Amino acid sequence: QQPAFQAKGVMLEPFVHQVGGHSCVLRFGEQTICKPLIPREHQFYKNLPAAMRKFTPQYRGVVSVSFEEDEEGNLCLIAYPLLSDPSADVENKDPSADCDAKSKMLHWGQMITSSLLLESEIYSKDGRGRHFRKDNDQSGHTLQGYTELERPQQAEVLRYRLDHSHSNAVPQLKHNPWSLKCHQQHLQRMKENAKHRNQYKFILLENLTWRHALPCVLDLKMGTRQHGDDASEEKKAIQIRKCQQSTSASIGVRLCGMQVYHSDSGQLIFMNKYHGRKLTLAGFKEALFQFFHSGHRLRQELLSPVLSRLREMQAALESCESYRFYSSSLLIIYDGDEDEEVEAEPKMDEDPLSELCSPVVDVRMIDFAHTTCRHYGEDSVVHEGKDSGYIFGLQNLITIISELENHCTD
């Protein structure tokens, strides 16, 4: 039915809007991403409670991914249909998936080299942040204007000046420091294992950012507990310590990653999980303020839709008996390009008019590798009732964003 896909496979590219997590997320096509299959997460997506469908990315099946090198020794990942999965032919499709892998080869080796070079150039040992421009980048991408805001060795907060072309097109993000770090580590592991294994299963999921010209993404780690029931004592102790030393213990939510576009400076601001763990309650509130700020103004029109979505999600979770979403994240996504917002058609009734005028903002739950519920037969622990730690985090998030909304009207 899709011969090019069957014969050549689909070239997987880096997914540049990944702001948190340690899993390697790849772009399968414009509307689809893929990530390594973890059986527990796969089981969750396949047996999703109806009440939660609208709050999670759409599940689109499984592919088999192999690690290959081209003639020049460049690393690449190619996805093929999973022949043993009868649903694969139907599900593993995205009309924009790149079937002609060799014609659009992304040179990962060069990309990773350039990202390492970028890191070593920026994080200079003299302790001062530096502006950096490298026009002769081998990979063809212009790495412009990274400015370090935090400790030079860590660089937990970065500013990245988007390179506006001469046309009026919205500048595109080519590099994201966090996603490149995840790819680098993942490819290195795959390369090391290549002699023993070259077939990996990945799940396909909806790309929640595809509609947006300049996606602003906030990744929040939810709940007062992060370790799964199957965690080792060592892992459990580490996760408990992370929660105690961050806002997870006090408010049930912490910042795990963020990218936001500030139109006044033309810069994308990135924050990573290491920065998020250090934030006090006041620092967390400040980061949320920064996320909803365009550089010119607070995007007040986004707050009400986010709040109603969070309240709706809370109601759905209240009804999810025995589920525990340990180490799960909440994504909030909107478009930093304010011109992209939907303009209403003239001469319409007020209700559809306000619906069309309202900005597109999305709130979804992701990352279910440590999720458990009573339907998972092999689990040793079965929990009763609702996930109070997650709901506690949602309630506090609702309170903080409500304070932001009130701050606007004050």
CB 106 within 8 A of CB 75: no
Q: Which residue has the higher pLDDT, 64 or 95?
A: 64
Number of domains, the chain:
1
State the Cα–Cα distance between residues 84 and 40, nearest whole angstrom. Answer: 19
Q: pTM here?
A: 0.78
Model confidence at 410, pLDDT cuts 50, 70, 90, reads: low
Q: Left (φ > 0), alpha (ψ -120 to 50) or beta: where does 155 sit?
A: left
Q: Taking residues 299-327, report their average pLDDT.
A: 95
Distance of CA 394 to the CA centre of its chain: 19
pLDDT, tens only, 159-187 = 877 765 545 555 566 557 667 777 777 77
Q: Which of 26, 165, 170 is nearest to 98 (CA)?
A: 26
pLDDT, tens only, 9-62 = 898 888 878 878 777 888 999 999 999 999 999 999 999 988 899 999 999 999
Both structure tokens of 194? 């290549």
Residue 324 pLDDT: 95
Is 115's pLDDT higher than 50? no
- In 3-state terms, what secondary structure has residue 200? strand
Residue 54 belongs to some domain of the structure: yes
Phi, psi (deg, nearest 5) at residue 326:
-60, 135
Residue 284 belongs to some domain of the structure: yes
Q: Taking residues 94-101, report their average pLDDT.
A: 51
CB 277 within 8 A of CB 150: no
Residue 344 belongs to some domain of the structure: no
CB 55 within 8 A of CB 306: no
- In 3-state terms, what secondary structure has residue 377? coil
Whats the size of the chain, residue-wise?
410
Strands of 41-174, DSSP E: 59-69, 75-81, 133-134, 143-144, 146-148, 157-161
Give the helix/strand (H/E) hosting 334.
strand 329-335
Residue 180 belongs to some domain of the structure: yes
Q: Domain of 28? A: 10-85+158-163+176-337+356-407
**Domain holding 188: CATH number?**
3.30.470.160
pLDDT, tens only, 359-406 = 689 999 999 999 999 888 778 899 999 999 999 999 999 999 999 998
Q: Which of 209, 207, 206, 137 is nearest to 172 (CA)?
A: 209
Q: Taking residues 247-271, report their average pLDDT.
A: 94
Residue 351 belongs to some domain of the structure: no
pLDDT, tens only, 190-216 = 777 776 777 889 999 999 999 999 999
Both structure tokens of 103? 């014609």
State the Cα–Cα distance between residues 95 and 90, nearest whole angstrom. Answer: 12
Residue 153 belongs to some domain of the structure: no
Q: Which residues of 217-238 are buried (b: 16+ CB within 10 A; e: fewer)?
A: bbbbbbbbbbbbeebeeeebee
Residue 109 belongs to some domain of the structure: no
Residue 231 belongs to some domain of the structure: yes
The residue type found at 361 is V
